[in-house]
Amino acid sequence: MAIHVHVGFTDTEMTAWRDRNKGIDMRGYSRAEIEDFTGRTPLLLDSCGEGGTLRLNAPEIESIVRQARRFVTDMKDTLDDRRWAVYRSYVRACIAGNVIDEDAPEEIIDHRYFYDVDELVLYIPDSYNHLAIDALVVHLAETDEGKTAHLYPIQVTIAERHKDSETEFFLRWGKWCPQLGDEYNISVTFLWIDMTEQYTTTAIEENVQSARRGLQYLNSHFDVIHIPLAQVNAEAWNRYKRAKDGLDRARE
């Protein structure tokens, strides 16, 4: 297992954050400067934007700077030359957003700001145009409350109308989770990458219906997220728009 620096929001989440905070005076700072300084971390982004004006000297950031300096000083004073070199390689990995070897000594890692990446697996259906989904991401983790498995079914479409992939997914629930058994607490977030114009999230309640043989379980509680194709792959979106605009002109 590699150890990664926590990079905060994804590209899509950063776009959503900027959309929600269009009224903040960025004081001339570029997007790259803001993301680099805050690490895309939600707490720091919100703290820097309090009051409607971006402040990169927010108390939360100054506190982290003081803690980081103190930790570096402690490492310099206590580590021998070999372990100090290992620590420096870790700092370089932090700055570059890379990974370090899993055998790095625990005492040189500041666990207030770094964490172990849990198992993350991408599954692709063998059959083209699968009835339910185009891909499935499974995130396995262990917490103080036990083992968790978060499933991210993914459906990609440029059609204005599409079959009910969410229902199709839960109709095949028994095929997705047999290896997880009862030891994992399973949750689901269904991801649509489609032609919507805005990033949206909807919570779907558990659905259980009465049937002749008793209660019929249709789906557990899950979230549905629609992500605009333009935010995922701008090149694919631009190609689609050019093709569609050309087709519309030909029909005129």
Q: Which string of DSSP letters, residue by residue, matches 202-249?
A: EEE--EEEEETTEEEEEE--EEEEEEEHHHH-HHHHHHHHHHHHHHHH
* pLDDT value, residue 98: 63
For the stretch 148-170, pLDDT in tens is: 888 899 999 888 777 888 888 88
Mean pLDDT, residues 168-179: 77
Rounded to an integer, the average pLDDT of 8-28 is 82
User: Measured between alpha carbons, how far is residue 186 from residues 114, 120, 148, 221 in Å?
Assistant: 25, 14, 6, 10
Q: pLDDT tens, 62-97?
A: 888 888 888 888 888 988 888 888 888 877 776 666
Q: Which amino acid is at 220?
A: S
Using left for φ > 0, alpha for ψ between -120 and 50, and beta otherwise, residue 246 falls in alpha
Share of the chain above pLDDT 70, in %: 81
DSSP-based three-state secondary structure for 126: coil
Residue 113 to residue 39: CA distance in whole angstroms: 11
Q: What is the pTM of this model?
A: 0.51
| Local confidence band at 3 (pLDDT 50, 70, 90 cut-offs) | very low
Q: What is the mean pLDDT of residues 184-200?
A: 88
What gap in Å lies between CA 184 and CA 42, rounded to an integer?
Answer: 28
- Is a pLDDT exceeding 70 seen at residue 102? no
Using alpha carbons only, how large is the chain's radius of gyration in Å?
23
Domain ranges of the chain: 3-116, 119-251
Closest CA to 110 of 70, 82, 141: 70
